[in-house]
C-alpha cells in the first residue's frame, strides 16, 4: 500500500499553498489580505486526474456521465457528459441575440420563465410537511449570476462583513471554504451534520444561538440534496427544521437568513424525503426569517459550463404593504444588481437565450427530459445502496443518502487520503477523499453520477477489499 503517495499529496499541497517562490518576490508582499490568503485547493482535480490516469473506474466527478445511447436511443455509443436530450435543437440562435451584453439582472424573458419554474417546482413538491403556498406575491423575480458558486459569493458578501460568521455543516461542498473563508473572510460556525443517522437539528440551533450572541443577524447555508452525502430531510425532519428556525427567530429576536443552496434540486430518489427545496417551507413563516433560494442550470438543466444561476428572495407578507410590493422588489433588485455589476457585470447571454427557447417549449417537455436523466441516476443510486449493503466491514459506514450525485462513506481507523490513494493504486477505483479530523470528517465521496450502474457493485467490492487490506476481517 502506498502511504508515501498520500504523504506526498499533503506535502505537495502544503508547499503550493505556501507559495515559497511568490513569497520571495515583491508581488506577494503587495497582495491584499484576500490576495495573501486565497489559493486554489485543487484536490478534486488532483483526484479526478488520478482516477483518469491510474483507475479503471472514476467516481470522483460531480457531473453525470454515461453512454449517450442510455439516454437517447438514437445517440452515439460514446461516454459523454450528459446534457438535456434535444438541447442541440436550441443551439442555433441568431448572433444578434447573443452578441450584446445581457442585462445586469439577467435576460428578462429568462427571469420570467425561471420565476414560473420556481413556482412550478413549489407546486409539484412532494412529501412536504405543509401545503403549498401561493408564491406569486411572496418572491422576488430571480436575478441571474454566474453559477451558484457566484450566487453564494454575492449573497454572503451582501449580508456579512469580513470577520463575521456563517453557520454551516461539517459535511459541505468543499468550495464553500474558498468562497466563504478565503474570498469573503468569514468564519465558519460549524455544526456536525448528523446526529446518528438523522439531521443534527440541535447542533444547528446551538450554532445559531452561539452566532446570535456575537452578531446582530445569523446567516445559515443549507444544501439539500447534500454534497457530499446525498442527504435530504424526511418530511418530519423538514418540519422540525422549519419550526426550530421559526422558534429561534422568535426567541433570539434577530434575523436569520437562510441560503438554500439548491444546486441538486429535483434529484431525489427516495420517497421518504422532501422532493424539493426547503425554501418553499420557509417563505412567509416568520418576519425575521429571510429565505434566499440559490438554484440554477448547472445541475438542474445539466449545463454545468453554462454558468447560470438564479437568486430569489422569499418575502414576508408583513414586511411591506401589498401596494408597495413592486417598489420593494425594485429596491432589492437594485441592491443585487449593484453586487452583480460591480463583480461579474452580467452573465452569459448565449446560455440565457438558449434556456429561454428551451423553457418556452413548456414545462411538460422539460420534465420529460429531466425524467430521463433522473431515472438513469435513480438506477445508479439504488444500485449504490444495494451494492453497499451487499458488503460489510465495521470500519466503513454510509451516511443517509436519498438524492443528489454522491454518497459518502465514513472510514474508521485509516486516513481517508491514504485510503483513496490505496484504492486507486491497487484497486483502480478513483474517489474523492474528505479528511478533516478537527471537523470530525474522514471519508470518501463516491460519485455514482459518473459510474455506470453495472460497474457500481464492482467498485464497492474493491472498496471493501481495500479496507480489508488495512483491517482484515474473516470472510
Ligand atoms: C452543493 C453545491 N453548491 C453549488 C455548486 C456550484 O454550482 P455552480 O456550478 O452552479 O456554480 C456545487 C457544484 O458542485 C455544489 O455541489
Whether pLDDT at 87 is above 90? no
Write the DSSP string, 400-446. ---BSSEEEEEESSS-HHHHHHHHHHHS-EE-EEEEEGGGTEEEEEE
pLDDT, one tens digit per residue, over 400-409 is 999 999 999 9
The pLDDT of residue 100 = 95
- Give 252's contacts (C-beta < 8 A, 6+ positions apart): 208, 209, 212, 218
Ligand 1 within 6 A of 176 CB?
A: no
Q: Which domains does the chain have, with CATH numbers?
A: 3-62+367-447+461-470 (3.90.1150.10), 95-360 (3.40.640.10)
> Span 193-214, mean pLDDT?
97
- Ligand 1 atom at minimal distance to the Cα of residue 149: 11
The pLDDT of residue 4 = 64
**CA pair distance 259, 312, nearest whole angstrom:** 10
- Measured in Å, residue 148 CA sits from the centre of ligand 1 at 6
Ligand 1 within 6 A of 415 CB?
A: no
Q: What does the buried/exposed string (b/e) look like for 256-268 if buried means 16 or more CB atoms within 10 Å of the residue's CB?
A: bbbbbbbbbbbbb
Ligand 1 within 6 A of 62 CB?
A: yes
**CA pair distance 147, 263, nearest whole angstrom:** 9
Whether pLDDT at 413 is above 90? yes
The pLDDT of residue 189 = 98
Ligand 1 within 6 A of 261 CB?
A: yes
**Confidence at 70, pLDDT banded by 50, 70, 90:** confident
**Spatial contact of 222 and 200, defined as CB atoms under 8 Å apart:** no
Supply the pTM of this predicted model.
Answer: 0.96
**CA pair distance 67, 74, nearest whole angstrom:** 12
pLDDT, one tens digit per residue, over 37-55 is 999 887 888 999 999 999 9
Mutate to test the pocket of ligand 1, among 173, 308, 404 (most ligand atoms within 8 A of CB): 173
The pLDDT of residue 101 = 97
pLDDT, one tens digit per residue, over 117-175 is 999 999 999 999 999 999 999 999 999 999 999 999 999 999 999 999 999 999 999 99
Amino acid at each position: 500500500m502506498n502511504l508515501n503517495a498520500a504523504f506526498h499529496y499533503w506535502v505537495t499541497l502544503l508547499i503550493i499553498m505556501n507559495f515559497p517562490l511568490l513569497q520571495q518576490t515583491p508581488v506577494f508582499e503587495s497582495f491584499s489580505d484576500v490576495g495573501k490568503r486565497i489559493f486554489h485547493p485543487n484536490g478534486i482535480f488532483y483526484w479526478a486526474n488520478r482516477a483518469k490516469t491510474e483507475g479503471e473506474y472514476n467516481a470522483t466527478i460531480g457531473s453525470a456521465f454515461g453512454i449517450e445511447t442510455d439516454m437517447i436511443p438514437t445517440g452515439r455509443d460514446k461516454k459523454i457528459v450528459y446534457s438535456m436530450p434535444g438541447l442541440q435543437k436550441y443551439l442555433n440562435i441568431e448572433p444578434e441575440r447573443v452578441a450584446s451584453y445581457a442585462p445586469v439582472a439577467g435576460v428578462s424573458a429568462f427571469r420570467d420563465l425561471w420565476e414560473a419554474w420556481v413556482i412550478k417546482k413549489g407546486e409539484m413538491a412532494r412529501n412536504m410537511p405543509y401545503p403549498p403556498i401561493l408564491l406569486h406575491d411572496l418572491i422576488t423575480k430571480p436575478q441571474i449570476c454566474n453559477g451558484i458558486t457566484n450566487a453564494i459569493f454575492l449573497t454572503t458578501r451582501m449580508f456579512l462583513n469580513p470577520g463575521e460568521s456563517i453557520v454551516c455543516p461539517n459535511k459541505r461542498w468543499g468550495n464553500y471554504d474558498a468562497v466563504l473563508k478565503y474570498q469573503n473572510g468569514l468564519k465558519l460556525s460549524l455544526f456536525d451534520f448528523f446526529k446518528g443517522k438523522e439531521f443534527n437539528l440541535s447542533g444547528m440551533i446551538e450554532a445559531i444561538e452561539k452566532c446570535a450572541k456575537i452578531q446582530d443577524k445569523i446567516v445559515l447555508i443549507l444544501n439539500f440534496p447534500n454534497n457530499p452525502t446525498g442527504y435530504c430531510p424526511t418530511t418530519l425532519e423538514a418540519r422540525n427544521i422549519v419550526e426550530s428556525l421559526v422558534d429561534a427567530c422568535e426567541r433570539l429576536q434577530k434575523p436569520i437568513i437562510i441560503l438554500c443552496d439548491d444546486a441538486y434540486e429535483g434529484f431525489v430518489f427516495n420517497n421518504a424525503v422532501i422532493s424539493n427545496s426547503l425554501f418553499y417551507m420557509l417563505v412567509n413563516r416568520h418576519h425575521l426569517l429571510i429565505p434566499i433560494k440559490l438554484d440554477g442550470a448547472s445541475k438542474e438543466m445539466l449545463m454545468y459550463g453554462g454558468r447560470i444561476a438564479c437568486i430569489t428572495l422569499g418575502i414576508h407578507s408583513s414586511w411591506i404593504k401589498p401596494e408597495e410590493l413592486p417598489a420593494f422588489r425594485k429596491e432589492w433588485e437594485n441592491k443585487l444588481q449593484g453586487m452583480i455589476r460591480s463583480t461579474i457585470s452580467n452573465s452569459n447571454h448565449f446560455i440565457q437565450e438558449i434556456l429561454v427557447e428551451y423553457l418556452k417549449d413548456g414545462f411538460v417537455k422539460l420534465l420529460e427530459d429531466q425524467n430521463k436523466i433522473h431515472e438513469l441516476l435513480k438506477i445508479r443510486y439504488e444500485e449504490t445502496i444495494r451494492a453497499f449493503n451487499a458488503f460489510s466491514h465495521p470500519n466503513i459506514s454510509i451516511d443517509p443518502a436519498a438524492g443528489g450525485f454522491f454518497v459518502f462513506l465514513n472510514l474508521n481507523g485509516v486516513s481517508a487520503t491514504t485510503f483513496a490513494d490505496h484504492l486507486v493504486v491497487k484497486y483502480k477505483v478513483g474517489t474523492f477523499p474528505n479528511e478533516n479530523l478537527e471537523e470530525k470528517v474522514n471519508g470518501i465521496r463516491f460519485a455514482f453520477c459518473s459510474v455506470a450502474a453495472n460497474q457500481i457493485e464492482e467498485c464497492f467490492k474493491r472498496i471493501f477489499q481495500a479496507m480489508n487490506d488495512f483491517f482484515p476481517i474473516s470472510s
